[in-house]
Every structure is written in structure tokens, then in C-alpha cells.
Amino acid sequence: MTAKIIDGKQIAKDLLENIRLEIIERTNQGQRNPCLAVILVGDDPASEVYVRNKKIACEKVGIKSLSYDVESNISQAELLAIVNKLNVDKDVDGILVQSPLPDHINEEEIIHAIHPNKDVDGFHPMNIGLLALRQPRLRSCTPYGVIKMLKATGIELKGLDATIVGVSNNVGRPMALELLLEACTITSCHSKTKDLEQKVRQADLVVVAAGRQNLVKGEWIKKGAIVIDIGINRIDGKLVGDVEFDSASKNAGYITPVPGGVGPMTVATLMENTLLAQKLS
């Protein structure tokens, strides 16, 4: 078997086009364009690329983006002051603080300070809690992007045995909640999991978000399984995922490439969240 490649780039493009059309419709009815404030702390090159891509997507769909590029030595209080100012600004719908933040910044406190209805990354405890209670509002962009991608591919999720590798607050945990919402039976794995191979081998759907190149071996993939590789590893200037792509493609029914898989979906769902945040305001 050779797996079908899930083209995240194309699916994201279609999603962005729908968002663009909806924004035109809303502005024709007198609404202003949605507005996303992006806070970038310091000059981490990878973060700069991510932020640039998000701003390009904003331009494509008609979302106004505001840039807050601040020095890496900004204090916790100064960063909180920016967030608080944006929280009460009626012209700002979404607030995004690009991670990672410098070590001296308490990231948790910053995320918790963002108003839940402006939390377009979907990281605030209120939004994660709502997802856990099956009342999703602003959903974590990457896991939500994975769900949208699977649905756009026409994959029936109900009842699938899903193994998720990675349990981080921003990716692995909300991914598990999203798949539970879709009535999958979930197994969440982390660095202390016993026999990861066996957990992957029994899965109909494998979602990997560990940030470890080649962690999941191609031979572990069950015949016909769906493989979603969220991992991004920079190896000699090249981006690779967490799954052995070539060998996994021989067993899987569907597989996502890196790059061009989950990454573009994350940006597209951020745009969707910004539009939703405007509706919530």
C-alpha cells in the first residue's frame, strides 16, 4: 500500500478562501474587518518566520494585523501591561503572544491574562476547559486544524482507536480532547509511556507531536492507518517531522507531509479563530 498524502496546504487554502468570503460578506453588512494583535518578544528566527506567515495569512483573508515587536529584555509587568491594554481595546479581536518567551517571563501568567474571548491561540484555561466539557469555543489552533484536515479529507473519525504521542498543554492535550469529542477512543503517550511501539501498532489513527525526529518508526504503523505528523524538527536547515515518512507511507492509508501538512492548517485555524473572536465580542 502507498498512503494518500493529505495536502494540508490545499485544505488550508480552501479554508482561508472561505474565511475571506465571509469577512467580505460581513464588511458589506457594515462590520469592520477583524483585527489580530501579534506580540513578538525578542528576535528568535523561527518565531519571526511563524509571525510573518500569520501576518501574510491575515492580509490574504482581510484581517487587520497589529504588530507589537518588543525587546527580549521586556519585563513581566511591561508585557502584562500590553496584554491588558489590548484586552480592553474594542478594535482588537484577537491577541496572540508568540511562544517561546524568554526564560525570565512567566508564560503561564501571560496566557492566563489574555481575555478568554480574545485568546485566538485557544490556550487559556477557560477555552481548554470548555473543550473538555464538550462546549468548544476558541480551540487550540493546531489540534483544531488537524480535525478540520481529517474532516476535509472525508475521514470518518467516530469509533477510531487513536494514539496521540505528546501531551503538552498547547498541542497533545487539546488534541486528545478534540479526538474524544469526535468519539475516538484515545490513548495519550508521553516520555514515560511503556512500550510506545505497541500503542502505535494498535492505532487506526496516530497523531504525533513530540518534537523528536524519527520517533515513530514506519514499521509500527498498522496497515491502512491514518498518520498525522505534527512534529517540526530542523535538521541541517530542512524541516522534518516525528514520523519516518518513507517507511510509514508504505503502511499507512493516509499520511501528512512535513512541511505542507499540519503547519498551514494551524495558520488557517488561527484566522478562523480571529473571525470567531470578533463574533464573540
Contacting positions for ligand NAP (CB under 6 A): 142, 165-168, 170-172, 189-193, 196, 209-212, 215, 230-233, 262-263, 266
Catalytic residue among 93, 118, 119, 121: 121
**Shorter beta-carbon distance to ligand NAP: residue 49 or 81:** 49
Q: Which residues pair with 161 in a beta bridge?
A: 185
**Shorter beta-carbon distance to ligand NAP: residue 23 or 262:** 262
Q: What are the residues whose beta carbons fall under 8 Å from the beta carbon of 30, sequence distance 6 or more? A: none
Catalytic residue among 98, 148, 222, 278: 98
Tell me whether residue 54 is one of the annotated catalytic residues. Answer: yes
Q: Find the shortest distance in angstroms from Cβ 69 to ligand NAP.
A: 21
**DSSP SS3 for 114:** coil
What are the helix (H) ranges across 105-164?
107-113, 125-132, 141-152
**Shorter beta-carbon distance to ligand NAP: residue 132 or 280:** 132
Q: Find the shortest distance in angstroms from Cβ 46 to ligand NAP.
A: 9
Q: Find the shortest distance in angstroms from Cβ 24 to ligand NAP.
A: 27
Tell me whether residue 98 is one of the annotated catalytic residues. Answer: yes
Q: Find the shortest distance in angstroms from Cβ 26 to ligand NAP.
A: 27
Give the closest residue to 281 by CA, choosing from 141, 120, 135: 120
**Shorter beta-carbon distance to ligand NAP: residue 115 or 173:** 173
Name the residue type at position 38.
Answer: V
Q: Which residues of 266-278 are buried (b: 16+ CB within 10 A; e: fewer)?
A: bbbbbbbbbbbbb
> What are the residue numbers of the active site?
54, 98, 121
